[in-house]
Structure 1
Amino acid sequence: MKYRSILFRLMNADTVRPLWNFSVIALLWLPLQIKSSGIVNAQRIDNPFSEITDADNSLPVYQRGGFFENGFFYHVVKEGDNLLAIAKIYIYFTDEYTVESLIERISAINSLRRYLIYKNQKLIIPVVRTDYNKIPRVIYRRSPGYKAAGIYLSALTAGSLRGQKLIRRFADAGGSTIVFDVKDVTGEIFCPVNIPLARRIGALTNTVIRDVSKLISYIKVHNLHAAARISIFADTMLAGNMSNYTLRDAEKNPVCTDGKVLWTDPSHPEVQEYNLEVIREVCSFGVDEIQLDYIRFPSVYGKIDMYAGPDQRRDKIITAFVKKVYNLTVTRGIHLTLDVFGITIWGQEIDILTTGQRLEELCLYSHAINPMIYPSHFDPGFAGLENPADNPERIIFMSMNRLQEIIRKAGAGTVIRPWLQAFPYKITDFGPEYIIKSVKSAESAGRAGYMLWSAENRYETVFTAYDMMKIEKESVISNE
């Protein structure tokens, strides 16, 4: 932030700019450069404003120096203005995804030299925002069983210039799906929602995706499927601030993970309703898919009773809640998918009764089951393997075949779309070849594709693997 403040202080309209400032600005600006949209002409429009306020809902845009004239919207530069401040006023009303890209667009439209502005200058502002919800959804919406090739983006990445670049690069590489966080285990909700309880517990203090509908639109115009990931019953803020919603053991003590109160009580009606409120709001943003994570009880044995209440088994509680979500999403034409433990596939009754994830029931109320098949998370000796992390083909193929049998016996049409490991934990030789082995194993065992997980969103190895697979495919075609 200090870096940028120096840059934009140099760009202030009332700053004296000696000649040497030009080279300083050019050097400082280099890391902020993005690929230009290629559109440098302003579009003539109808007046988009009346009493509309800016994104911070503080002052009408007319009071910020903006006015509409002859089909264009202008901003008159005032003393102290800089491009960063101007872009922040109008970002909500444009198709630009980040403030940096809007600065680039304003500069191109107005033919600014080195991003310099001066007092009383009239700047054309590209206040055109496409409402992608008015475009027939069939253009973007895929069938529930489509073949996915996806990556995960944290909310911090998804709401940033880095996320914009990753989305564009993944689309160019041949990807089909972006999964981004809306709510994680901290309980933070990363985009603005109108839920009083969320505001009350402090869940809206880190809305790094300020305009989630614009993010979704950006994903869709790159012909990608937009999936919103929502952590359900692992929710530090709700469990920590609302003691009556906290999951407790037989001695009435809060259930902790690594010393933290993390788990809410899945059987509590108000806990369920809170999460349903979040899901309803996210559905209204135009997502293609709701992806539920931590849709379970904690995997803790011993102190916690196997039953959440009289005659209430954990698996029945979880299945009943998933059914509620399914009824909510299916009426809106939105896919519902479930992230589940990879080990749950192997069906030990103690695991099922502890977590509440009985797959033969859950698959009846979801479009896809997303098992987290990370070989590094299987214990040494599993399936006779000394280090399962080094054997992705066998772990993935065996797990998917077993899950397919569970779904077949349940008579469900649910597809399997596994999360694959795209991080080096416990792997002896992690690289593009590892990704290729994992992808090919998932594709040979199923028809609905896969998603790649890196918590830090580091996908250089994935992009290299995609390039290698593309070359291999082209070579096969040329030899036919």
Structure 2
Amino acid sequence: MKLILITTALLQSLLFASFSGNIVDKNTSAPIINAIISDSIISVKSDENGSFTIDTNETNIHIKAYGYRPYKINFENNTTNLKLESITVKALYLTFWAANTTSKRIKKILNMIDDTEVNALVIDIKNEYGSTVFKTSFEQANSYGAHKNRTNRDIENFMQLLKSKNIYTIARIVTFKDELQASNNPDYAIKKIDGTIWRNHDNMAWVDPYDVRSHEYAISMAEEAAKVGFDEINFDYIRFPAKAGLKFCETNNQENRVKTIGEFLDLAQSRLRKYGVFISVDTYGNICWSNDDNNIGQTVLSLAKHADYISPMLYPSGFASGSFYFEYPSEHPYAVIYRSIKNIKDRIDSKRVRPWLQYFKDYAHTKRHYRKFEVREQIRATEDINTSGWMMWSPSSRYHLNYFVKEDE
């Protein structure tokens, strides 16, 4: 028996090594607390001194800390001093159609990044229809023709270009709204009570979030984005449809919805751990003012348990008349952003909130055009409330350079 125990201990010592390190801020040298250190299987956190130890048989280790760029290290010795680069993400949305090296839109945006505070891009990897921006190695999606309308024929060169400019890259994955996946898998598409496939107002079908096959599909797509070097995976439409009278494979109540979204995110964290990517989740703006799940499976507290960042769509035009005691919330862009994030600070650190901001004409109230003043007021609110940054939504990806140059520059 003693011989067996000694042999087992010896084997474990050969298979696993203990790696230690200290993690500090690159600029201030202050220790970074609660940084997440991971191999492909386990994660540990740094202590109050920024110190950590991880037992692993792998040499590639990833580090994530909120408010910092992701960090990858190949351990060569037992003690390592690591300096992480802080970042406040200031991102523009880049459409599916513009995400390649030859588009006129990307050239303008890259010039803008050179000359302004913008330092990040949100790029469609899988859109609402289910099409992928490049041909992935995910054969299930390819068998449905997801790659046929791709606009990027050289994703490696495209990513190399973005990295050469130190651009923080965010891959947007439209999750449960997916016409291609649903139409090719009617057994787990969301259905109407009569059993036929339900489609929303833009004639798009959804897959059932309760069915784990829909989880596997979206996360496999996220892995494709991680493999080519994206820093963050942004799951959009990671929710149940805001529609009553639909048929699901499980009883559709708040407890089950919230649990299901949490299980999806836990699986995503597990599968994406080996790539060191952050995970963010898009939500309705009114999540900041609700105590329930709004019938879609999302609450601030539940998302904070499973995702790295949450991204409420705090478009002032998206709030009803009377919200914030304003007849027209769209006339008060600063207040909408600031008050909404302040209202959830007891549930999630504002450093883990990165809202979507409005870069389009007010559609709900006075039809006001959102120009430099309105854009800067929204940005100013994120700065004053100390978020992890912002993401700007322009459906066409058309932006004005001077909107992103501060007045004092």
Q: Same fold (TM over 0.5)?
A: yes
Please tell me whether residue 388 in structure 1 is matched to residue 329 in structure 2: yes
Secondary structure of the structure 2 residue equivalent to 1:265:
coil
CA contact (8 A) 1:233 1:263 kept: yes
- With the length of structure 1 as denominator, give the TM-score of the two structures: 0.64
State the shift of 1:310 in Å.
8.1
Equivalent residue for 2:30? none
Distance (Å, rounded) in 1 between the aligned partners of 2:248 and 2:377: 39
Please tell me whether residue 438 in structure 1 is matched to residue 378 in structure 2: yes
Equivalent residue for 1:325? 268
Q: Cα deviation per residue 1:200-222 (whole Å; 9 max; x = unaligned)?
A: 22211111111222222111111
CA, structure 1 residues 225+261, in 2 after alignment: closer, same or farther (shift >3 Å)?
closer
Secondary structure of the structure 2 residue equivalent to 1:340:
strand
Equivalent residue for 2:113? 170
Distance (Å, rounded) in 1 between the aligned partners of 2:307 and 2:221: 18
Query: Of 466, 469, 474, which residue of structure 1 is paired with 2:404?
Result: 466
State the shift of 1:185 in Å.
0.7
Distance (Å, rounded) in 2 between the aligned partners of 1:293 and 1:145: 25
Alignment of 1:276-315 (within 5 A): 276-301=219-244, 303-304=245-246, 308-309=250-251, 313-315=256-258
CA, structure 1 residues 364+269, in 2 after alignment: closer, same or farther (shift >3 Å)?
same
Q: CA RMSD in A?
A: 2.6
CA contact (8 A) 1:168 1:222 kept: no
State the shift of 1:155 in Å.
1.9
CA, structure 1 residues 265+307, in 2 after alignment: closer, same or farther (shift >3 Å)?
closer
Secondary structure of the structure 1 residue equivalent to 2:209:
coil
State the shift of 1:307 in Å.
8.4
Structure 2 unaligned segments of length 5 or more: list them: 1-59, 72-83
Q: Cα deviation per residue 1:74-107 (whole Å; 9 max; x = unaligned)?
A: xxxxxxxxxxxxxxxxxxxxxxxxxxxxxxxxxx
Distance (Å, rounded) in 1 between the aligned partners of 2:115 and 2:272: 30
CA, structure 1 residues 258+219, in 2 after alignment: closer, same or farther (shift >3 Å)?
same
State the shift of 1:259 in Å.
6.3
State the shift of 1:144 in Å.
9.7
State the shift of 1:414 in Å.
6.3
Select the structure that is richer in strand. 2
Distance (Å, rounded) in 2 between the aligned partners of 1:310 and 1:140: 38
Query: Of 291, 295, 298, which residue of structure 2 is paired with 1:354?
Result: 295
Query: Relative CO higher for 1 or 2, CA cutoff 8 Å, sep ≥ 6?
Result: 2
Deviates more, 1:230-239 or 1:328-337: 328-337
Distance (Å, rounded) in 2 between the aligned partners of 1:306 and 1:205: 30
CA contact (8 A) 2:280 2:308 kept: yes
Q: Cα deviation per residue 1:197-246 (whole Å; 9 max; x = unaligned)?
A: 21222211111111222222111111110111110100011112221121
Query: Of 291, 309, 313, which residue of structure 2 is paired with 1:372?
Result: 313
Distance (Å, rounded) in 2 between the aligned partners of 1:236 and 1:272: 15
Secondary structure of the structure 2 residue equivalent to 1:331:
helix
Distance (Å, rounded) in 1 between the aligned partners of 2:180 and 2:247: 24
Larger Rg, first or second structure (1 or 2)? 1
Distance (Å, rounded) in 2 between the aligned partners of 1:359 and 1:313: 16
- With the length of structure 2 as denominator, give the TM-score of the two structures: 0.74
Q: Cα deviation per residue 1:39-94 (whole Å; 9 max; x = unaligned)?
A: xxxxxxxxxxxxxxxxxxxxxxxxxxxxxxxxxxxxxxxxxxxxxxxxxxxxxxxx
State the shift of 1:308 in Å.
3.1
Q: Cα deviation per residue 1:287-341 (whole Å; 9 max; x = unaligned)?
A: 111111010011113x136983388711111111011112222332111111111
Please tell me whether residue 205 in structure 1 is matched to residue 155 in structure 2: no
- Give the partner amino acid of 1:473: D
Percent identity at matched positions? 25
Distance (Å, rounded) in 2 between the aligned partners of 1:292 and 1:216: 20
Query: Of 189, 199, 209, which residue of structure 1 is paired with 2:132?
Result: 189
- Give the partner amino acid of 1:279: A
Equivalent residue for 1:221? 164
- Give the partner amino acid of 1:188: S
Q: Cα deviation per residue 1:322-371 (whole Å; 9 max; x = unaligned)?
A: 1111222233211111111111221152xx15111122021122221111
CA, structure 1 residues 325+137, in 2 after alignment: closer, same or farther (shift >3 Å)?
closer
- Give the partner amino acid of 1:365: H
CA, structure 1 residues 447+382, in 2 after alignment: closer, same or farther (shift >3 Å)?
closer
CA contact (8 A) 1:185 1:262 kept: no
Alignment of 1:17-32 (within 5 A): none
Equivalent residue for 1:418? 355
How many residues in Structure 1 have an aligned counterpart in Structure 2?
328
Please tell me whether residue 161 in structure 1 is matched to residue 98 in structure 2: no
CA, structure 1 residues 191+306, in 2 after alignment: closer, same or farther (shift >3 Å)?
closer
Distance (Å, rounded) in 1 between the aligned partners of 2:307 and 2:252: 27
State the shift of 1:425 in Å.
2.7
